[in-house]
Amino acid sequence: MTIDLGTTARDIARQVQAGESVQDVADALLERIDRYDNHIQAFATVRPDAVRAEATWLDARRDQGARLPLHGVPVGVKDIIDVAGWPTMAGFEPFQNNIADHDAAIVEALRAQGAFVIGKTHTTQFAVGDPAPTRNPWDLEKSPAGSSAGSGAAVAAGMAPVTLGSQTAGSMLRPAAFNGVVGFKPTFGWFPLDGVLPLCWSLDHLGIYAEDVSDVFLVYDAITGNIGKPVAYPSATPRIGLLTEFLEMSSPDVASHLRSVAANLSSEGFEVVETSLPKPFELIFAVHQVIFAAEMSALHGSNLDRHRAYYGPRIATAVDAGRLLPAGGLVHAQRLRRALTETFDRFLSTWDALLFPTASTEPCDISETGDRRFQILATLLGLPAISLPTGLSENRLPIATQLIGQRNEDRRLLAMAERITEVISLIGKPDLSRLD
């Protein structure tokens, strides 16, 4: 079987169900990883023998009559998520031999639907700010963002049709934007966090990267047990709020692109109306930053004291500073978060979705992971959000559109995003011929 840029999970599952060998799928993808990953470095661990053994088992199940929704679909897993028998290193050297006993709940759910693990993908250390070794497939000197750098880049380079990432600030959506792939983060709590190395207990989300929205939808349904269930499609004229504050904070080409997306949607029957956040962005950002710093420091403080030499400078600095926060400041932030959540739930009840850029700029220099501000709204408030790669900058680098939906209306948001991609084309794929 040939796996190339643009091969979807649906393509693979369909072919496997029709008789294609999962072993061939695994071999094709391993060959592709062998060909490109020395340049891109999306994967922290690949275990070809373990991959082939699982593929053989899936072939046997298919031969026995099993036809699973994700049968034979290879999945890359961010290296903070446990996969039984594989190391969970989180970019932290002392964890090199931290072999997981069990699959994380989300991996277990995917395997139950016929998917198999193709590799563990690089993360920034502990999913914070020190850049991962991964490079952006669109330009190796540009950042793939973080923290889910490897998961975003692996899909962009066609080394996995589906990967898992996580987001505690902007770590799902920004890599989706920088790598030019679709990225989705559900409502808080919808994806199980059991078996995932935490960063901030009240902010951590898992999410999905894929080639297109339909693949994300399929994987979302597989994880949440919704396959085959009807979808509440948005109204005939979905009402979308264009958040102008974010356009003002964007680079000119990003702002101009989003205005053009909004205009295209209007001409295709969507009701797009300019609107503003019901509370100042500065407050939303501050609440997130204080909760983030306090929880991260509580989690990492003692480990940092034991293993300071192994910690990256950015996370070490952030943990040390976070430990200085007064408890009253955290409690005030937590109370404000609840107030903001209630305000935004009321605000969102008047919209089908909110529209704004996923990231403020095109992919930045590789020494950074990018501006996290635009992804924090959905994280702090636990709202479902999707990033669609809808444009290219003057430098031929990806620009993305973000949609935030109503709480617990993840499938409705995915359905709307599917409809949007029927009228607005997603960008193509990076030219990898220069790496051959």
Partner 1 sequence: MLRRPDWLVSHTCRFFGKDQPVKLTRDSTTLAIERALRSSSELAYGAERTEEIAEQIRHLAEMLHELAQSRLDLTGIPPDTTGIKDRTARS
Tell me how far, at minimum, the Cβ of 276 lies from partner 1, in Å.
18
Q: Quick one: which of 264, 334, 408, 421 contacts partner 1 (CB under 8 A)?
A: 334
Tell me how far, at minimum, the Cβ of 187 lies from partner 1, in Å.
10
**Region from 51-59, 71-79, 191-199, 216-224 binding partner 1, contact rule CB under 8 A:** 191-199
Active-site residue identified among 148, 151, 171, 387: 171
Pairing of strands 353-357, 239-243: parallel
29 burial (CB, 10 Å; 0-12 / 13-18 / 19+) is buried
Cα–Cα distance measured from residue 392 to residue 257, given in angstroms and rounded to the nearest whole number: 9
- Sequence-separated (6 or more) residues with CB below 8 Å from residue 69: 13, 113, 114, 218, 221, 222, 227
**Region from 227-235, 237-245, 251-259, 318-326 binding partner 1, contact rule CB under 8 A:** 318-326
Q: Determine, following the binding rule CB under 8 A, whether residue 188 of this chain makes contact with partner 1.
A: yes
Contact 427, 138 (CB under 8 A): no
H helix count then E strand count, the chain: 14, 11
Q: Determine, following the binding rule CB under 8 A, whether residue 345 of this chain makes contact with partner 1.
A: no
Interaction mask 377-416, partner 1, x per CB under 8 A: -----x----------------------------------
Q: Which residue bears the tokens 């060959």?
A: 31
Tell me how far, at minimum, the Cβ of 83 lies from partner 1, in Å.
17
And the tokens for 419? 């409809």
Q: Determine, following the binding rule CB under 8 A, whether residue 204 of this chain makes contact with partner 1.
A: yes
Beta strands in 186-265 (DSSP E): 205-210, 239-243
Interaction mask 60-79, partner 1, x per CB under 8 A: --------------------
Of residues 215-244, those binding partner 1 (CB under 8 A): none
Q: Determine, following the binding rule CB under 8 A, whether residue 289 of this chain makes contact with partner 1.
A: yes
Q: What distance lies between CA 174 and its chain's CA centroid?
A: 8
Rounded CA Rg of the chain = 20
**Region from 187-195, 227-235, 366-374, 405-413 binding partner 1, contact rule CB under 8 A:** 187-195
Active site residue 267: no
In terms of CB distance, is 201 or 233 closer to partner 1? 201
Cα–Cα distance measured from residue 142 to residue 362, given in angstroms and rounded to the nearest whole number: 9
Active-site residue identified among 78, 120, 142, 185: 78
Tell me how far, at minimum, the Cβ of 360 lies from partner 1, in Å.
18
Shortest CA distance to 78 belongs to which of 188, 182, 152? 152
DSSP three-state, residue 344? helix
Residues that bind partner 1 (CB under 8 A): 105, 188-189, 192-194, 201-204, 282-283, 285-287, 289-290, 293, 317-318, 320-329, 331-339, 341, 382
